[in-house]
Amino acid sequence: MDFGEVSRVLMADAAFSSQVLRVAEAERKLCDADYCHVGDSLAMSWNFSPELGDVIAHHHDQVTSETPRMRLLVQAACTAASMSGFHAAGPEQEWDPVRLELLLPQGSELRQPCGDLMEKGASKLNRIECSLL
């Protein structure tokens, strides 16, 4: 099965499944791995830094107080993209300042972006996320 065929199967499964599977869930169902797992394996075989490998492997994981800062940045990009309608994988995200507070310098306030500022920021953050992978 070539990549194009796998992609078509995944998209059809995600689009038409009665359970409305997300892309990463469809990948795991079909291939026993998702793009995070594949990316992590590639990062190790290509000798990427452990920090970048962590981001690739875990950028859709739950945010905790121990989440590395570089992963938080990419997770913020994923959240901003999802909130702006550019959702790709994992659960769709609502604006939640608590999830992003760990990125801010001590004492800073986080406010919800508005209008096209949010869309422009999400687009730029999404490009950053993609360039890290």
For the chain, the structural domain boundaries read 1-32, 37-132
User: How many residues are recorded in the chain?
Assistant: 133
What is the structure's pLDDT at 54?
A: 92
Residue 110 and residue 76 in contact, taking contact as beta carbons nearer than 8 Å: no
pLDDT at site 6: 46
- pLDDT beneath 70, residues of the chain: 1-24, 82-119, 133
CB crowding 3-32: b at 16 or more within 10 Å, else e: eeeeeeebeebbeeeeeebbbbbbbbeeee
Q: What is the pLDDT of residue 15?
A: 44
Look at residue 18 in the predicted model and tell me its pLDDT: 34
pTM value is: 0.50
Q: Rounded to whole angstroms, how far apart are CA atoms 13 and 3?
A: 15
- Give the Å distances, CA to CA, from 117 to 7, 26, 35: 32, 32, 29
Per-residue DSSP letter, 104 = S
DSSP track, 64-85: -TTS-HHHHHHHHHHHHHHHTT
